[in-house]
Amino acid sequence: MNTIAVITGDIVGSASIKEANREFLITSLKKTFKEISKVVLNTSKSPFEIYRGDSFQAEIEKPEVSLLISLLIRAKIRSLMDANESKKRSAKRNWDARIAIGIGSLAFNAEKTIESDGQAFQFSGMLIDGMKKTDSRLKVHTPWEDVNSELEVSFSFADDVISQWSYFQAEAFYHYLLKDETQNSLAKIIHRSQPSARKRLVTGKVESIDKFLHRFTTLISSKL
């Protein structure tokens, strides 16, 4: 039986976000899903579905890239801002998302992802429901207890780091993670000097994030 990843997420505090901003967030998310699908999954068709207005879900056939996709989504959302706010204010106030990654088997594949079922869907759903009662915004669960034990710790630390990203850091990390940009090319994309681009990555703990991603990819790939 194939092992897949299911990513389930929702916008944090969406009920308190102004209607115009919620529309802007969802429109931006749809564009982000398409960009991630093209670059990371090499497909023109996004696997993501948006439901209930502020929630999303996707079935990812390559579980080893599920964390990268999740980090990209959070980075993008944290890099968005209300058009009526200044960057100075937005640097201290970010929108964010809770994201739960479930890795496991697929029992039933429906035409709509949210109607499918299986181990991966159950894990992801269980996690996201529990996260709504806590401050956690990034979790994973797999069929392998040794993997769960290790990742529980590393995900907790990484979640704390990501939750501290400013608008500026999140913007830099999105482009850096999406295409593994060099600092010189990243600087051109975000219209800043190379030292400025580097500072945003370094203060956002880029070395730790890189190690975290590499370890996750290696660990999950070894189980497939």
Which residue ranges make up each domain of the chain? 3-223
Residue-level pLDDT at 108 = 54
Burial class of residue 142 in the structure, from the number of CB atoms within 10 Å of its CB (0-12 exposed, 13-18 middle, 19+ buried):
buried
Closest CA to 140 of 43, 153, 85: 153
Q: What is the pLDDT of residue 42?
A: 94
Strand order through the sheet with 138-141 = 48-51, 55-60, 3-11, 97-105, 138-141
Report pLDDT digits (tens) over 147-199: 999 999 999 999 999 999 999 999 999 999 998 777 888 889 998 999 999 99
What local confidence, expressed as pLDDT, does residue 90 receive? 46
pLDDT at 107 over 70: no
pLDDT of residue 110 exceeding 70 = no
Query: What is residue 21's predicted lDDT score, i.e. its pLDDT?
Result: 87
Q: So what's the architecture of 3-223 in CATH?
A: 2-Layer Sandwich (3.30)
Is pLDDT of 8 > 90?
yes
**Backbone φ, ψ for residue 55 (5° rounding):** -120, 155
Q: Give the per-residue pLDDT at 94.
A: 79
Question: Which tokens hold the place of 123?
Answer: 């894990």
Torsion of CA 135, 47, 29, 142, to 10 degrees: 10
Residue 106 clears pLDDT 90, i.e. is over it: no
In 107-162, which residue ranges form alpha helices assigned H by DSSP? 119-131, 145-162
For the segment 42-101, what is each residue's pLDDT rounded down to a tens digit? 998 899 999 888 899 999 999 999 999 999 999 999 999 765 554 554 445 679 999 999
Other C-beta atoms closer than 10 Å to the C-beta of 98 total 22
DSSP code of residue 186: H
Contact of 75 with 204, CB cutoff 8 Å? no
- List beta partners, residue 139: 100
For residues 33-64, b (16+ Cβ closer than 10 Å) or e, as one string?
bebbbeebbeeeebbbeeeeebbbbbbbebbb
- 10 Å Cβ neighbour count for 196? 15
Most distant pair of Cα atoms in the chain: their distance: 50
pLDDT score at 116: 60
